[in-house]
Copies of this chain bind each other. A is one copy, B any other.
Amino acid sequence: MTRVLYIEDEPSLGKIVSETLQQQGFEVLHIADGARVLPVLNGFLPDICVVDIMLPNVDGYTLCAQIKGRYPSLPVIFLTAKTETADLVKGFEAGGTDYIRKPFSMEELIVRINNQLKIRVNGQKDNEAVSVRSIGQYKFFPMRYELETPTTTIKLSQREQEVLALLTNNMNQPVERKHILLSIWGDDSYFNSRNLDVYIRKLRGYFAQDSQVELVTLKGKGYVFLEK
């Protein structure tokens, strides 16, 4: 059964959409509060997300970037009253894969959901943050906040784990700096940008011994975590 994570704070619309999707055979988890999404993702891995932009606590763009940070190939459809092109651009920049303006027809939403699912039929699902990852000679246990080297085990802090998880979710492909900042810190201010530098350096320190692996800077763009 296809699982839809639906984030919408307006109760009446939320109810109608949820029920209609359920009638179409989707399993729907409806959340009204942006801040509750990430915790929920630990227990419910959806096939697709449908998110509103104007939400309490955390806005939809940030939410999308956070979700994509964990699950880069999970489709995210924006469903929003914001009709301007600038908002649509922000949505796609945050990693969204489709954008529907309100008012919309349920039929269109359903067709677009199915389209997103179809496009990805071949691409396998992301391994969730729960599984072990091999990185060069090391092993990374995201849920344990641990990095196991041949000789020792390093305990990772919250931020270290978040940055490493995001980068290893996108092994061998460039991740934009802006995207990292948005999905971990929620904004790309100057200070957070310096802050990210600090964590990049820490991670580089951990991986200094492992010659199979390199965290490369793409100046003006972002980073790639390369495995040779």
Contacts and interface: CB of A to CB of B under 8 A. Distances in A.
A132 to B, nearest CB: 12
Contacts of A108: 85, 88-89
Interface in A55-105: 72-73, 85, 88-89, 92, 96-98, 105
Contacts of A172: 130, 143
Interface in A108-166: 108, 111-112, 114-115, 119-120, 122-124, 130, 143-145, 157-159
A123 B85 contact: no
A40 interface: no
A119 B123 contact: yes
Contacts of A119: 97, 119-120, 123
Contacts of A218: 145, 158
A208 interface: no
A220 interface: yes
A195 to B, nearest CB: 12
25 contacts: A73-B122, A85-B105, A85-B107, A85-B108, A88-B108, A88-B111, A89-B107, A89-B111, A92-B112, A97-B119, A98-B115, A119-B119, A119-B123, A120-B123, A122-B173, A123-B124, A130-B172, A144-B228, A145-B216, A145-B218, A157-B219, A158-B219, A158-B220, A158-B221, A159-B220
A98 B118 CA distance: 12
Contacts of A228: 144
A88 B219 CA distance: 41
Interface residues of A, number: 38
- Top 9 nearest A-B pairs (CB, nearest first) are A123-B123, A158-B218, A85-B105, A92-B111, A85-B107, A158-B219, A85-B108, A92-B115, A89-B111
B144 A226 contact: yes
Contacts of A216: 144-145
A97 B123 contact: no
Contact of A124 (B97, B111, B122): B122
